[in-house]
Structure 1
Amino acid sequence: MTTSTAPAVTFVGAGSVVFTQGLLSDLFAFPELRHARIALHDIDPERLATAEAAARQIAAAHGATPHITAHTDRRAALTGADFVINSVQVGMGEATRTDFEVPARFGVRQTIGDTLGIGGIFRGLRTFPLLRSLGADIAEICPDAWLLNYTNPMAMNVQYLAQATGLTRVVGLCHSVHWTMHGLAELVGVPYEDVTYRAAGVNHQAWVLEFRHGGTDLYPRLDALIERDPQLRRRTRVDMYRRLGYYPTETSEHSAEYVPWYLHHDSEIARLRLPIGAYLDIVAENVAEYESTRDALAAGRALEAEGTMEYAPQIIHSIVTGTPRTVYGNVPNRGLIGNLPSEGVVEVPCLVDGSGVRPTRNGPLPAQLAALNRTYLSTTDLVVRAALEDAPVRVRQAAMTDPATAAALPPERIWELCDAMVEAHGDRLQPGLRKPLGS
């Protein structure tokens, strides 16, 4: 879809101001995108005004002359959009605290709580109503737009979008593969630009299948480093790598939540230095960063917004200009990874150019990796089914299949926990899922 006209990019959830700043810095770093039409949408007027002021300052710093508008009306923001970037967090920090505090009363430990686990399940359930209405608006107002989703839980959200809205131009984006490979390259002492790699799996639980410098496999060098350094062996993802044979593409804090082996054991929490409730600190830091940005803009001070080379700006640039790139995207499987469920959402390399985003076929994963990914996708599928079927029992079944929740609680307590979460989240859930079922 190469075009000489300025692309129209709509930010849904633009009030995630710090993240929006990074994306805009990335966009305006491309000369071809400096005249883009930028529509910012958020339901919080103060955050929206802050995002707009930040966007104008970032544009000026890059010598860009975009057309920037701000909208509390989402449909107005979507009018004419070629690309829609979604970064909404339904319920914000209050809902996130609920996701941690209620399970903690039941003895369930979480570190991040945004992908799987009881926190991920209810984060998905409270996001689905927004995704359904957003999808309907896109289908009506800008049906040819690409929806680039950053909102977690990624696999649940993309599967729900595919099955509930019928949209086909949907890609879920996450920086975990990119930054994992940066970290590994630094660890083995090879410049990132000189490393070649291939990863595949599911979001936050994909696997580095190839890791090379020229024709040399870098895994033996990594093995030698781990053998010499006992502190490296105190990382969850390193522990998983040593036992499974392939390095996971998400941080130790995330990775510990998707398996039953770590968070239920005090000794493993101590050995691997797992920070229980870590995401609550991140929430507080995000609020502080937002307030600092807001106050700096009000005082007329310059922002220090740096580009992050996120995938969304790269995708937009490639589609607009025809420049070929490879990014990692989350898309419905449909045979891309042969030994994972077809309807599940997988994270694979995607080719991008003027024709759009094209996922690549990766063949089967090693059996041990596919076994873990299938469990992950089974829980995800039940959460999506709960919403599509309006079936509260599916929520409980999803929690029963979740590895970390099942390791911590017997079935009766899992159902009681789900009832407590339903009560705590109240009207954030679709009406049919608000019914308590008892134990």
Structure 2
Amino acid sequence: MIQAVRGMNDLLPEVTPAWQALEDTLRELLALYGYGELRLPILEKTQLFARAIGDVTDIVEKEMYTFADRNGESLTLRPEGTAGVVRAMIEHQRLRGQTPKVYYIGPMFRHERPQKGRYRQFHQVGVEAFGLAGPDIDAEQIALSAHLLQRLGLTDVYLEINSLGDPASRERHRQALLDFLSPHEASLCSDCQSRLQRSPLRVLDCKVETCSAIAQDAPSLLDFLDDESRAHFAGLQARLDALGIPFKVNTRLVRGLDYYNRTVFEWKTRQLGAQGTVIAGGRYDGLVRQIGGPDTPAVGFAAGLERLLALQEITQGAPAQQVPLLFLGALGEAAAIPVLREAQSLRGRGLAVVSFAASGLKQLFKAAERSNALYLAILGEGELNGAPVQVKPQNGGESFSVPLENLGEALLERRNQDLHG
């Protein structure tokens, strides 16, 4: 038997309604904030990610699904969405004199070790805004992410923020960090030892206990901020206070991608174990130029859909399954076509109907049970000749009878009663 690729999961019909509800909520909320949907290709040129993310990052070196196509061009399944959004903004000339606000929803791919809450194919919503340099848009995006969590009923979350400063600030901090960490190199984990020279900031975010303990006393990047970055960070905090959004400044909050600067933020939870980051974002003012566009300030965030859904299930229980309203059975060949016509007519009125034809009642009852429909009705010879249709609730309630021509009205009335109690 051929199985799915490890770490790439099927989403079966019993779970997709929860995904659809989440996506509907996202689209509705993002429209309120003026964001338009951008649908990106899943494949991009490998050069885009090497240029945007950095050749020496774990993503590019170890995690990307990269291959040569028939023309010998190196292509990559997108490991993240921001680089593709920037490429699209440049390619379609959306940045000069404009301030586009866009979002995307879709799958990403990283060749990581599959574990709970982390998959090789995972899904993200990403939110990006361009051309706005001040802290207002940073605060608005954090407010948007808070609004999303509230709309989803997720309350056991907390916000951490930090500033990475400008490139000169980070270079000064980088040297101080190297001076601090180098004497501890032998005590760092193997990953942090390899990161030490190329990206020492990543050591601050390591979850290994020995690395975390060492990082506690590391120099804070906030002590190296330039005046503009310090004022930007103070302005962000003032705006969050004004909006009533609690936060904690975490000087060890950094990013694994090299293009971030100034504001970084994360919404976290203690309910998902090691995969506790629910939403992560920040500012990346240099990325557009790095990819080949004009100097353009930019800020964005991304959220993993799997994690949002997992957190919803923990806090609210498994979502109710969507079930058909009616199972409409055809008893015998003579009833098959009338049942097809009636089922199609009912669906045209917005009623969810499963139709099924069989020669015996036993088959129909078994099929009705499998359908999980709320009501059962069977058309046989009597009903085709004018006898009332018997409609039976499958949860054990009282049956009722109705002329075939009134079946739609009766079901609509019952559905409305069920919805409104």
Shared fold by TM > 0.5? no
Which TM-score band (shorter chain)?
under 0.3
More helix by share: 1
- Kindly indicate whether structure 1 or structure 2 has the higher relative contact order, using CA contacts under 8 Å at least 6 residues apart: 1
Bigger share in strand:
2
Which of the two has higher C-alpha Rg? 2
| TM superposition score normalised by structure 1 | 0.25
